[in-house]
Amino acid sequence: MTDASYLPRSDGLRLAYHYRTGRGPTIVFLPGYMSDMQGGKAVALDAWAATANRAMLRLDYSGCGVSDGRFEDGTLAIWRDDVLFLIDSLIEGPFILVGSSMGGWLALLVALARPGRLAGLVGIAAAPDFTDWGFTQEQKLQLLREGRIEAPSDYDDQPYVTTKAFWQSGEANRLLHASIAVDCPVRLLHGQRDAVVPWHNALTLAQQLRSADVQTLLIKDGDHRLSRDQDIARLIDAVATLPESI
């Protein structure tokens, strides 16, 4: 894997990315919480894009992966703005957003900010509004009292940290309470053995999206990560079969 490129924000903090030009709308992969652009789904999709001569951008939010900054300084709004900064700086023309878990929430927020350039959106166990439904009342009170909570992670040796600032940013950017003004084709993939994001959330999201072209694929034996070979094949098919024009 080649070394990452870097683009400094206005405050000097450098955001890491891999970008390749090619045909069609640029595919932009948005990782999940405490994940990065070297995850299995991102790398596999990028490898397919290379063979298909498709343009693709992978990126690390500030404080994640090899980008500058501290993870605990990140919020949903900051990471959304990181994505918008890289898209606006690097990509000309339309793009397709592919978001995994929290990246699916960010994809929706980016879609709302750049509707005229969005050719398609793919959610993988998309998790909009998880600051609402993903925490108990006691955890929310602990966040307000102590400013952070930690929980064991199933995917990393480091604890799963949530800060008060992130939680408040999430609460300020909730989407599922009203119609979501996204009109492009949308594909939602969700495992029915997902122990992190309940699979019926995908049905709620599909209902709230304004687009008339929304397809939801429920994978009965799929877990939250959807990173098995057959899951990757479904992801690639979902991206490959999206229309390439707005």
User: The tokens 């960010």 sit on which residue?
Assistant: 106
Q: Is 237 a catalytic residue?
A: no
Rounded-to-integer distance, Cα 69 and Cα 94, Å? 29
Helices in the chain by DSSP H: which ranges? 40-51, 76-90, 102-113, 130-133, 137-146, 164-172, 200-208, 229-240
Q: Is 101 a catalytic residue?
A: yes
DSSP string, 125-159: S--TTHHHHTS-HHHHHHHHHHSEEEE--SS-SS-
Q: Is 194 a catalytic residue?
A: yes
Q: How far apart are the first and last CA of the chain?
A: 32
- Is beta strand 54-59 parallel, antiparallel or unpaired with respect to 148-151? unpaired
Q: Of residues 46, 67, 224, 231, which has the active-site annotation?
A: 224
Amino acid, res. 140: K
Q: Of residues 35, 62, 101, 169, which has the active-site annotation?
A: 101
Work out the number of other CB atoms within 10 angstroms of the CB of residue 123.
30
Q: Of residues 60, 82, 194, 231, which has the active-site annotation?
A: 194
Rounded-to-integer distance, Cα 208 and Cα 182, Å? 9
Rounded-to-integer distance, Cα 35 and Cα 31, Å? 6
Residues serving a catalytic function are 101, 194, 224
